[in-house]
Structure 1
Amino acid sequence: MTPPQTLRIAAGVELATLVVLLTNLATVHWPPLSSAIGPTHGCAYLFVIVLTIRQSRATRTRAMALVPGIGGLLVLRQLAHMHQDSKPSP
């Protein structure tokens, strides 16, 4: 897997697990679900941060990774924008 693909997966897992955690909190608040999904969300969050640090030297991009839930998606968007800007114009 290439780093952007790995980052894309980690960002998706981070967002999906956050949605599950918040939905659980707002509805049934089932502790076993929180116990199972919480660590997965934490690991995905840390993966997003580490992969972003390895992928980009830009302070702004690295700071985006720290936003819980959507940070990974913001980083992917920023990296795509930076990659697009680096292509030569025809």
Structure 2
Amino acid sequence: MLRQYPDAELRFFLANESGAKPDFPVCYNRRERLKRDIEIAQWRQTNFPECRAVFNEREAKLDRDAKERGRPRKSIKERIAEYNASCSHTMAGTL
């Protein structure tokens, strides 16, 4: 179960102008999601080598679907860099 502040992003975007730096609850939610995604990626790399083909196929399908919708998926490294740039000012800190 992922601990999060409920509806933090929605409340933030409704209360603030475009381009405003996100507040702690938004950054906290993003950090928790990123940490979960990093753990999943590490688990996929270290466990069950016989399943890597299935994981790689799923990831490729998700990438193709995202490209078809016009919003290519970002790598974990890109998402971490984006998070660090937008949330370094909060108590959520950087990754």
Same fold (TM over 0.5): no
Q: TM-score, normalised by structure 1?
A: 0.44
Q: Normalization by structure 2: what TM-score?
A: 0.42
